Amino acid sequence: MKTFLYSFEAGASRLAVRVLAPLRAAGSSDSGYGRVVGDRTEQIVGQGRSSVVYDLSNGTVLRRYRDESQSAHSDAVAMRAAAAAGVRVPGVHSAAGPDLVMDAVKGPTMLADLLVHPDRAERYGGVLADLHRGLDRVPFRSGAGLVHGDLHPGNVLMSADGAVLVDWTNSRWAQRSLDVAITWVVLACFGPADPAVEAAIGSVRVPLLNGFLAAVDRTAAAASLWEAAGIRHGDPATLPEEHNRIDELCLAFAP
């Protein structure tokens, strides 16, 4: 049975689910699928605009920022804080400079699974809400809660043990309602460049969003919609049609 790599945009809500290629066997000489470190090749198992994830072949992966001046320290701090509150995240082993070593997690992204099983959309909306409730339990720091900043189906892995929240590049300490609002904006407004993916997303968007909004504090999230919109408008990966959808959403629901 073939195993495939799925592309996702780390740090940006592109939600890409383009199949890249069959996963090569360890030690492959094809440098397009990995990099040589010492005497071994580490396979690329995920990549996006800002980072690349390598399989270290020992149950862990290395996520390296493409910009080596960017530190992974804040990501590690956020992930450990979330884990301490009971949120499933990859276990962090170390963070040094642009490198973050963490446990490997087996399973498809929620998005990839949704495209195969669209009947799960409403239930998965509830799963996204559950992840936010878990983050609500993280102790506040200086009056601010832990915000993942990019919580959507492309950043959730469906492991055998449950949903695992990944890609903490945009994490920060702010009002928790902002995090919920960001998810609302992405679910309602995301528009992939690929028409085929757009059609598939369209088939699950309404039940996914309904399942999510039914399980969160919609009033509090609505109060943060304009701030969430500003974040999405500032993302260079946001497509023109998404900008229009975002403004329409805010005009309809923000106070």
Clarify whether residues 36 and 64 are in a common domain: yes
Higher local confidence (pLDDT), 32 or 108: 108
Whichever domain contains 33, its CATH number is 3.30.200
Rounded to whole angstroms, what are the CA distances from 147 to 37, 71, 138, 214, 229?
34, 18, 10, 20, 15
82 and 117 in a single domain? The answer is no
From CA 111, how far away is CA 60, in angstroms rounded?
Answer: 23
Q: Are residues 229 and 205 in the same domain?
A: yes
3-state secondary structure 58-115: CCEEEEEECCCCCCCHHHHHHHHHHHHCCCCCCCEEEEECCEEEEECCCCCEHHHHHH
Mean pLDDT of 205-213: 97
* Residue 42: predicted pLDDT: 66
Helix (H) or strand (E) holding 37: strand 34-37
Overall pTM surpassing 0.85 (yes/no): no
3 residue type, one letter: T
Q: What is the mean pLDDT of the chain?
A: 85
Q: How many domains does the chain have?
A: 2
Question: Are residues 162 and 119 part of one domain?
Answer: yes
Which residues have a Cβ under 8 Å from the Cβ of 199 and sit 6 or more positions away? none
92-97: list long-range contacts, CB under 8 Å, 24+ apart: 93/60, 95/71, 96/72, 97/68, 97/71, 97/72
What pLDDT sits at residue 118?
A: 96
Whether the CB-CB separation of 48 and 18 falls below 8 Å is answered with no
Report, as an integer, the average pLDDT of 214-225: 98
Same domain, 79 and 145: no
Q: In what helix (H) or strand (E) does residue 17 lie, and over which residues does it extend?
A: none
16 lies in which domain range? 4-103
Mean pLDDT (whole number) for 168-194: 94
Last residue of a domain, one of 54, 70, 103: 103
Query: Domain check: are 98 and 114 in the same one?
Result: no
Residue 1 has pLDDT above 80, yes or no: no
Q: Are residues 20 and 84 located together in one domain of the fold?
A: yes
Report pLDDT for 198.
78
